[in-house]
Amino acid sequence: MNADQWLHAFGAELHRRRVATEDVRHVVAEAATHLRDGGGDPWTVFGTPDRYAAAIAESVGTRPAPRPGPVRLHAEGITKRYGRRTVLHDAGLTVRAGQIAAIVGANGCGKSTFLRICAGVESPDGGQVTVSGRLGYCPQQGGTDDFLLPDEHFVLVGAGRGMGRATARRAGRVAARQLGWESDQAVLARRLSGGTRQKLNLTLSTLTEPDVLLLDEPYQGFDRGTYVNFWDQLLRLRDEGRAIVVVTHLLNQLDRVDLVLDLTPATPGGRP
Ligand SMILES: Nc1ncnc2c1ncn2[C@@H]1O[C@H](COP(=O)(O)OP(=O)(O)OP(=O)(O)O)[C@@H](O)[C@H]1O
């Protein structure tokens, strides 16, 4: 584990201990500066990430655990077949306001399919999904238009919620900036890099302030700084009372989430 990995583990521990997001950012930045200026091995300087995080949490204090909110997403008995292959069998998930659920599992086990069904863009062969409130969905691919500018995307999506053009543009730019992206350039979406396009996609899914946010590996192509911001944003949205479902392959993030749905089939080789 190098210094970067130590800092990452330290940040994750602080989040897990419910230190306020602002404090986490501040304390991790201070530790990074200290290591950069003074040199030395973080284990010698600070000790293990969990011990140091425990000491910091005690000194700066932690946020109270949120009270369970109302159920925002309830999926039960979800079954999906493609041809003769059963991809999902009796899958279910209940997420309340103020919770983050992670969907994990092997490649091809049906994570994106489950999320698409929750988003209502695909029908299940069995089971049902109930969503309470406004829905935001960030698909793994697509979701943006090649021939529109970022601002035009904001206006288009904002209009669906009755936002005026200027308000939508402003809200989009603020949300994009939180991911470290200045989105006010006149660049068509098809000219954006893959990671920046994914930032646009993610920004659009949060623009209408959804009660339920469905994210399908939204951080693909993000650089490390953006990735850290992404998790900070997610925790902030959770603390605002959103119900969030995120498909992820990054099992080292699971200590930050409240629920985990593992869709890996119980039998090797998949479902009948
Ligand atoms: N429209 C479709 N028609 C036929 N098969 C499909 C369709 N969509 C998905 N599949 C198949 O269903 C299975 C599950 O796909 P899905 O994309 O949901 O998996 P995943 O768990 O998200 O995979 P990954 O981890 O690779 O992103 C895969 O075998 C995929 O090829």
Instruction: Give this complex's ipTM.
Output: 0.97
> Which CATH fold would you assign to the domain 71-262?
Rossmann fold (3.40.50)
Distance 124 CA to ligand 1 centre (A): 14
Q: For atom 2 of ligand 1, which residue has the closest CA?
A: 82
Residues with CB under 6 A from ligand 1: 82, 87, 105, 107-113
Ligand 1: residue whose CA is nearest its atom 7: 82
- pLDDT tens-digit map of 209-250: 899 999 998 887 777 777 767 877 888 888 889 999 999 877
Q: What is the pLDDT of residue 253?
A: 66
Could you identify the atom of ligand 1 that is nearest to the CA of residue 105? 21
How many Å lie between the centroid of ligand 1 and the Cα of residue 142?
A: 16
Residues of the chain by 3-state class (helix, strand, coil), percent to 5: 45, 20, 35
CA 112–ligand 1 middle distance (angstroms): 7
What pLDDT tens digit does each residue of the chain (272 aa) get?
Answer: 688 889 988 988 888 788 888 889 899 999 999 999 988 889 999 999 989 999 999 888 877 766 779 999 999 999 999 999 999 999 999 999 999 999 999 899 999 999 999 999 999 999 999 999 999 999 988 788 999 999 999 999 999 888 999 999 999 999 998 888 899 888 999 999 888 999 999 999 999 889 999 999 888 777 777 776 787 788 888 888 999 999 987 766 677 788 999 998 766 555 55
The pLDDT of residue 136 is 92
Residue type for position 140: Q
The C-alpha R_g of the chain, in whole angstroms, comes to 20
Q: How many CB atoms lie within 10 A of CB 55?
A: 12
Mutate-to-test residue for ligand 1 from 78, 79, 81, 82, highest number of ligand atoms within 8 A of CB:
82
Sheet holding 135-138, edge to edge: 135-138, 212-216, 243-247, 99-104, 259-262
Q: Which atom of ligand 1 is nearest to the CA of 263?
A: 21
Give the span between the Cα atoms of 122 and 187, in whole angstroms: 32
pLDDT at residue 16, as a whole number: 76
Ligand 1 centre distance from Cα of residue 114 (Å): 10
| Gap between the Cα atoms of 189 and 183, Å rounded | 11
Q: Whose CA is nearest to atom 23 of ligand 1?
A: 108
Atom of ligand 1 nearest to the CA of 109: 21
Q: 3-state DSSP call for residue 170?
A: helix
Residue identifier of the C-alpha nearest atom 6 of ligand 1? 82
CA of 108 to the centre of ligand 1 (A): 5
Indicate the domain borders of the chain: 3-60, 71-262
Closest CA to 227 of 268, 191, 179, 267: 179
Residue in 80, 106, 17 with CA at minimum distance from that of residue 54: 17
pLDDT of residue 21: 82
Report the DSSP pairing between strands 135-138 and 126-131: unpaired
Nearest CA to ligand 1 atom 31: 108
Residue in 237, 218, 209, 253 with CA at minimum distance from that of residue 95: 237
- The rounded Å distance from CA 68 to ligand 1 centre is 33
3-state DSSP assignment of residue 163: coil
- Residues 100 and 254: their CA atoms lie apart, in Å, by 10
- Atom 28 of ligand 1: nearest residue by CA position: 108
Give the separation between CA 159 and CA 146, rounded to whole angstroms. Answer: 19
The DSSP secondary-structure symbol of 260 reads E
Closest-lying ligand 1 atom to the alpha carbon of residue 106: 25
How many helices and strands, by DSSP H and E, does the chain display? 9, 8
CA count, 13 A, side-chain hemisphere, 115? 27
pLDDT confidence of residue 221: 75
The rounded Å distance from CA 136 to ligand 1 centre is: 21
Transcribe 6-66 into DSSP letters.
HHHHHHHHHHHTT--HHHHHHHHHHHHHHHHHH-S-HHHHT--HHHHHHHHHHHH--PPPP
pLDDT of residue 267: 61
Q: What is the pLDDT of residue 272?
A: 54
Contact between residue 63 and residue 235 where contact means Cβ atoms under 8 Å apart: no
